[in-house]
Every structure is written in C-alpha cells, then in structure tokens.
C-alpha cells in the first residue's frame, strides 16, 4: 500500500479504480475477516463505510480510500499468515 502517493493524480485514479473493483460481497467478506481477526473499531468502521459506498469511490475522499485500501491490505496479509500457520 505504501506504493501510492495521495498527491499524485495517477495514483489517485489507480486507488479509486482498485476500490471500485470490489463489490459489496467483497466488502462483506473483508468485514467478516476483520472481525474474526479482532481488528480495531476504526478499521472495521472504515470497511463498513466502504460497503456503503461500494463501487462509488468518487464519493469518498482520497484519504478515506487510501486508509480503506491499507486496511484491506492488512486483512489480506493477516489472513494469509493465518492460513500459512494452519498448514504447518
């Protein structure tokens, strides 16, 4: 996630496109995973915001989209680690 610069118009377009690529079902899955991983209220709250604005990234600020994508990255990483530990 650190690869994006919130001041670069190209990166902003890429982040919005990535956000809009997720459906409401995807956001539901992220929320369930975040709750099972016991993430903080702020992180889960931002995922709920993403669910309400699913595929309508133009209604969120750049900072909100950046933060939401960071949370998605964190959830993905933690789920991969959990799956790896289960395989051992």
Mean pLDDT of 73-77: 93
List the domain range (segments joined by +) for residue 57: 9-87
* pTM confidence score: 0.86
- Residue 17 is assigned to a structural domain of this protein: yes
Determine the Cα–Cα distance for residues 69 and 64; give it in Å rounded to an integer: 9
Q: Are 86 and 44 in contact (CB under 8 A)?
A: no
Per-residue confidence (pLDDT) for residue 87, from 0 to 100: 62
- Residue 59 is assigned to a structural domain of this protein: yes
Determine the Cα–Cα distance for residues 42 and 65; give it in Å rounded to an integer: 14
Number of domains in the chain: 1
Per-residue confidence (pLDDT) for residue 43, from 0 to 100: 94
- Residue 1 is assigned to a structural domain of this protein: no
CA atoms within 13 A on the CB side of 75: 25
Q: Distances from the Cα of 51 to the Cαs of 5, 43, 70, 75, 87, in angstroms?
A: 24, 13, 15, 15, 31
Per-residue confidence (pLDDT) for residue 19, from 0 to 100: 93
- Residue 52 is assigned to a structural domain of this protein: yes
Q: At residue 1, does pLDDT exceed 60?
A: no
């Amino acid at each position: 996630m650190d690869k994006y610069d919130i001041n670069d118009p190209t990166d902003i377009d890429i982040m919005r496109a990535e956000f809009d690529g997720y459906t409401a079902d995807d956001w539901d899955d992220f929320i369930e995973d975040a709750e099972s991983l016991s993430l903080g209220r702020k992180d889960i709250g931002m995922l709920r915001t993403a669910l309400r604005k699913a595929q309508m990234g133009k209604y969120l600020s750049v900072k909100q989209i950046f933060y939401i994508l960071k949370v998605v990255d964190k959830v993905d990483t933690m789920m991969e680690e959990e799956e790896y530990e289960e395989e051992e």
